Structure 1
């Protein structure tokens, strides 16, 4: 009986060690996906208003990035049409990564389709939020042969029936 209990004890220890090893490998493999290494970052434009139309940012004198979201009221849990236009740069892939500024909203990244001539389009969706108004940052991630470029854009979402913060309504 004592041999049987000792053998079960060793199996539980082995199972625990195996679980830890598998978890460590999964975390190691997911690291570049969840936290990609950015080689260059653009500046956040405080005057950008994605509700008014596309925002255009400059990485340098030669590179311009335009980002647009439709519909312009940017609803939660409804399809969003995303468009990125690039000038002065060739991209292998373009993604948009949505993060909550003041609240972790999980992994919300969309890979856009290459529409040609520097245009990238795709559909995404923002998750539901318990707050009446939520500030988001959309990072346009541009994969190039020279590395990953990140261009940040901020916007606010509001629940239906709630006025946009700072509006006259």
Structure 2
């Protein structure tokens, strides 16, 4: 009643099992590498500068003074209101210091909405220190959601940045 497998059939399974184990281990290592790179990549030591209170990104650009003649400015130039789930043009201007690897990270204030990360590209043929990209805010169940834009960049003296808060009304279908 109990059948025994021949040595040949057991031997045929071993290479498949080894292959499956190898593929699984490689997949886990790649996932671990990606997770560590993703988690640690944006959290190196950053010098944060407080944004000017009362600035409203719905009305126009918001800026912050860094050191002496240095300035960081964020603009989201949309027609009408800034809304969730819509493509948002992002413009960052850095004056007085060389900037590379400019990024904007949106995160919910008072509610965990995850991090929405967007890397901006230098404007080709334009003034130095101008960067552009496209971002998007997630949707929230609240009627009004406060989002924080963390803008950071790499400078010769390290990573610098500032935060800008904006209130967004929920879009109705």
TM over 0.5: yes
CA RMSD of aligned residues (A): 2.8
**1:136 corresponds to 2:152:** no
Distance 1:22 1:104, change over 3 A: same
Shift of 1:90: 0.7
Question: Which residue, 52, 56, 60 being the options, matches 2:63?
Answer: 56
**1:40 corresponds to 2:47:** yes
Distance 1:23 1:128, change over 3 A: same
5+ residue gaps in structure 1? 2-10, 162-169
5+ residue gaps in structure 2? 5-16
With structure 2 as the length reference, what TM-score do the two structures score? 0.74
Counterparts of 1:27-106 in structure 2, within 5 Å, are 27-33=35-41, 35-71=42-78, 73-106=81-114
With structure 1 as the length reference, what TM-score do the two structures score? 0.76
Q: Distance in 1 between matches of 2:110 and 2:158?
A: 28
Q: Distance in 2 between matches of 1:75 and 1:38?
A: 31
Shift of 1:148: 1.1
Tell me how many residue pairs correspond in the alignment. Answer: 156
Shift of 1:31: 2.5
Q: Distance in 2 between matches of 1:43 and 1:23?
A: 36
